Amino acid sequence: PKLCSGEYVGALGLTEPGAGSDALGSMRTKAVRDGDFYILNGSKMYITNGPIADIVLVYAKSQPDLGNRGVTAFIVETDTPGFQIAQKLTKMGFRGSPTAELVFEDVVVPVANIVGSEHEGHQVVMSGLDIERAALAPISIGIAERALELSIEYANDRYQFGKPIASFQMIQSMIADMYTWVETMKAFTYQVLAELADVDATSAGRGEIHARTAAVIMYNANTVNQILNHAVQIHGGAGYLWDTEINRLFRATKLGEIGAGTTEVRKLIIAGELLGR
């Protein structure tokens, strides 16, 4: 309840130093049952909110012989003995979002803290990723809209050759492209979010919605990078300065092509669903 109310800060512990795109298959964090408890050992990497989280949803191998499907999801309170913040990580973008490597050394977690079913954490992962991808897609829209707004303002205010650079057709072409891309991002995103509202947890992680959530976050991430490339070009030297807002937005966009599944993994998901593989 405190997580839902905002009193607690949460984090998701899936990615590991050696387990990124193959998070389930390459997972090394182990969970060994001991009566009514599980003992967790391992580490998680690139964890958003890691340094400030009150609870972490941690995925661990509870039955290694089952491979990808021998994973269980646990709620771990960060004041539990054995939980450590190994290091705080410095990112080039989204710097207001703290990120860390987390370590679990003989962390004792009650069986009651399992999310979903025992050894069925892969279902929690897949249903959660569909929701996460659709929920993250609008972030790219917000960044893109602000970049367009700043670019229009700069193009009107910046004078070269005795007139605003907005009067040059090449600048106008970039502005027109940026606007069109923003509107297509909106249309696709709102459509997928509406579709996802009717999907239950048992249906997520496969089928058309699996492909569409991967497609929308991929499209938005790729497109916002194109938009910010234009935006920085319009700003010229000012766009290359670290302290400018447009540069901050430019640095933030790359995360969209990496976080919640890389562009390459998203393409595999889309093609796999379309080709029945």
77, 118, 132, 195: the catalytic one is: 132
Q: Is the domain of 63 the same as that of 132?
A: no
Query: How does residue 138 score in pLDDT terms, banded at 50, 70 and 90?
Result: very high
Report the mean per-residue pLDDT for the chain: 95
If asked whether residues 80 and 140 sit together in one domain, one would say no
**Is 204 a residue whose pLDDT tops 60?**
no
* Amino acid occupying residue 155: A
Q: Quick one: pLDDT at residue 93?
A: 97
Residue 145: active-site member: no
Residue 203 has pLDDT above 80, yes or no: no
The domain that holds 29 is classified in CATH as 2.40.110.10
Q: How confident is the model at residue 127 (pLDDT cuts 50, 70, 90)?
A: confident
What's the pTM value of the predicted model, to 2 decimals? Answer: 0.91
- Type of residue at 186: K
Per-residue pLDDT tens digits for 151-192: 999 999 999 999 999 999 999 999 999 999 999 999 999 999
Check whether residue 90 and residue 197 sit in a common domain: no
- As for how many domains the chain has, the answer is 2
What is the reported pLDDT for 1? 85
Q: Are residues 112 and 133 in the same domain?
A: no
**Sequence-separated (6 or more) residues with CB below 8 Å from residue 55:** 3, 8, 10, 11, 75, 76, 77, 78
Task: Say whether both 106 and 177 belong to one domain.
Answer: no
The whole-number pLDDT of residue 205 equals 65
Q: Which domain holds residue 111?
A: 2-118
84-115 pLDDT, tens per residue?
999 999 999 999 999 999 999 999 999 999 99
Domain match, 158 and 203 both: yes
Is 134 found in the same domain as 98? no
Tell me the chain's radius of gyration from C-alpha atoms: 22
Same domain, 100 and 135: no
Query: Same domain, yes or no, for 103 and 126?
Result: no
Q: Which pLDDT band holds residue 202 (cuts at 50, 70, 90)?
A: low
CATH number, position 236: 1.20.140.10
Domain boundary among 118, 153, 170: 118
At 242-264, the pLDDT tens digits run: 999 999 999 999 999 999 999 99
Does one domain contain both 167 and 243?
yes
Judged against a pLDDT cut of 80, whether residue 200 lies above it is answered with: no
The tokens describing 21, both together, are 């795109």
Question: CA 175, 178, 184, 188: dihedral to nearest 10 degrees?
Answer: -160
103, 118, 133 - which closes a domain: 118
Last residue of a domain, one of 100, 118, 136: 118
Q: 154 and 211: one domain? A: yes
Say if residue 186 is in the same domain as residue 237: yes
Percent of the chain with pLDDT over 90: 88
